[in-house]
A and B are shown apart, each in its own frame.
Chain A
Amino acid sequence: MRMLTCTMWVGEVVKAEALVERIKINLRHVMTFYYEEVSSVAVWWLWNIPFQVVQIIVSLLLFKYFAEAFGASSPYFSGNFMSFIISGLMVNVYLDSSLTVYYESIAALYLGRVGVGGVHLSRRDYLRLAGVSPLTFLFARVTWRYLTETLIAVAYLVVGVLLFGLKVSLQADPWLLALTILLGIAACSGIGLISASMYWLAGAYRGVEPISWFIRLLVPLIAGVYVPREVLPEWLIALGDLLPQTYVIDAARRILLGGAAIARVTRNLRILAHQAAVLLPLGLALLKYSLNVAARRATIY
């Protein structure tokens, strides 16, 4: 009996060691893909970061002068128009990326495959030959995107506080804000994964992918990024109620600007959790199915 227990224990240790080794290898590959990103975009970033900051400043100046010209002391903005706009834009950086990054990563994975005959190889084929899981590549692409978007969000925060009077509440709970954004990312990622699955399921690479295109078109209007939802007609509010972005942006503003505690955003968090619970597994299942379709279809389409 003791011998059996001992053997089982050794077996578990071996399994755990193999798992740790696998995680290490995958992390090494993730770092390689990060290195690839850094190498590829280093020049672009050197050019781009100053322009990104300039773009943020100019667009915020536009809102500032709009507000001065047309009066932005409306109670709809809680008396601070610029804080309303900046907080919305800052949070939407993550949500917008969640809608697009999966599709873009799938497109990068199958780079070289689409639109050619049998001889061409895609990046996915090369990864297969190197024994690297395509999921590792997708993970690296997606996490890298969130890392770079964090820089943009920080730029909004810094520029907002220093130049545009963004007033962050001293009572703001950063953990609660992070939880809200994470739930929002999870729910929006569900939509992003469904959009990514359309790459193969509906051949979306032949044109613009309509799911994320349509949602990205509506979000600025109906999710409360720029416009207080209270001024919208009923039917647009009802449409906005379907989008996770609406609940994330609303909750994030309450936490960031109003210092709201968890009790005041529980409803938003609950809805986001439900949306994530439905959209995320649906998106994953569809993406998995679409990749199987791609594998069966092989190079000729």
Chain B
Amino acid sequence: MNANDIAVLTDNLVRTYKVLSTGFYDPGIYFETAGGRFLYEVFMRSITKKVVIFALNGVNINVRRGEFVCILGPNGSGKTTLIKILATLIPPMSGKAEVMGYDVVKDKDEVVKLVTYIPSILGASAWARPRLTVRRNIVLACRLFGIPKDEGLEAAKKLGLDEYLDRPFGSLSTGLQARVGLLIGVLRRTPVYLLDEPLMGISPEAARLLRSYFLKINREFGITFLYATHRPLEAQELATRVIILHRGKVVADGSPDDLIRKANVEEAIELEMYKAYFNIEEVLRRYEPNYVHVEHLEPEAGAFKVIVGIRCCDDVLPRLIEELVSRGAKIRRLRVRRASLEDAYLYYVGGGSG
């Protein structure tokens, strides 16, 4: 691979956080006077043990220019940390990260000019002032990002925000706030887009609009996308390549089809049952599946939803049904389907987590 073709590169990237190993009693509002809470907190924190957690633990990725890559992983797998490091918002502890050939630590002023960072709804409102109208917020953001305000207002209309322009930002619903949050990201036209679960909290029609917009600018302008999500089906729909992160490490990297093939999960049996008062996971594991995912629906009623990933279910299915029924389980729903990226994902991250 030619070095000039690489849009994003990380080499043995490590990021840790130091956190308290345990919580402590909150003294309540009466400690607010005379700086009491402050002294209490300082004291308690000084005697509470700290632990180091690895958000990223030696991550190596390469993204070619114009690629649409999804970073897939369960909660806490390091997706946000990786995206934030590439956006220069967090420094790595060690290792190297480059965007379009620029180091994210040494050349961070260059890097921010090349990336557009779109956070999820949770981060969307940091730049927006709740008491100001949507219009004022957009004008302010346009001024800071150097975008003509007419372009900003025009884009707001395209995102279906025209009738909310004169309402205070704080009075909008969650999804509408998310759309305002996305707006500036959508307006910036940089060679690399870093997206961190951008469609969380957005209604399906707006999400569809944005997804097709991302794909359009990826294809028409060759913009590189690094898109963090924990939804495998979203990744399967968008990405040409998927990188699966788990516990701060890359556990799989390839096209969605490759990942499904390598995961050795050809088919999946989905079952919903009740009155299953036995160790269901132990029973299922006897059939030597590639993975088992058990979801507790109503444990007191013995109700579960299970997904069993298996190479070929033709001979397994009758035996499995027979055994479950003989143990008293009532099967409410049964579905056999071709394996998707979701199955491969569950295989790579170990089924139960995420």
Contact = CB atoms under 8 A, between A and B. Distances in A.
B126 A131 contact: no
A104 to B, nearest CB: 15
Contacts of B41: 203, 206-207
B3 interface: no
A202 B127 CA distance: 26
Contacts of B126: 111-112, 120-123, 125-126
Given A128-B88, A128-B89, A208 B32 contact: yes
Interface string A182-213: 00000000000000000000111011111001
Contact of B45 (A203, A209, A300): A203
Nearest to A44: B131
A131 B113 contact: yes
A190 B250 CA distance: 48
A103 B113 CA distance: 30
Interface in B202-243: none
A35 B37 CA distance: 36
Given A40-B131, A209-B35, A203 B140 contact: no
Interface residues of A, number: 42
B195 to A, nearest CB: 12
Q: Which of A119, A126, A204, A296 has the most CB of B within 10 A?
A: A119
Nearest to B20: A301
A111 B127 CA distance: 9
A215 to B, nearest CB: 12
B90 A298 contact: yes
B81 interface: yes
Interface stretch (B62-70, B114-122, B284-292, B318-326): B114-122
Contacts of A202: 38, 42
A207 B123 contact: no
Interface in A251-301: 295-301
A208 B89 contact: no
A43 to B, nearest CB: 8
Given A40-B129, A131-B113, A207-B32, A119 B119 contact: yes
Interface string B68-97: 000000000000110010011111000000
Interface string B288-324: 0000000000000000000000000000000000000
Most B Cβ at <10 Å: residue of A111, A112, A126, A210: A126
Interface string B26-65: 0000011111111111100100000000010000000000
B38 A209 contact: yes
B162 to A, nearest CB: 20
A43 B170 CA distance: 16
A119 B129 contact: no
Interface of A: 28-29, 32, 35-36, 39-40, 43, 111-112, 116, 118-123, 125-132, 202-204, 206-210, 213-214, 295-301
Interface of B: 15, 17-19, 31-42, 45, 55, 80-81, 84, 87-91, 109, 112-113, 115, 117, 119-120, 122-123, 125-127, 129, 131-132, 136, 140, 143-146, 196-197
30 contacts: A28-B143, A36-B132, A40-B131, A119-B80, A119-B120, A119-B197, A120-B126, A123-B126, A126-B127, A128-B88, A128-B112, A129-B115, A130-B145, A131-B112, A132-B144, A203-B41, A203-B42, A206-B38, A207-B36, A207-B38, A208-B32, A208-B36, A208-B38, A209-B35, A210-B39, A213-B35, A295-B91, A298-B15, A298-B17, A298-B84
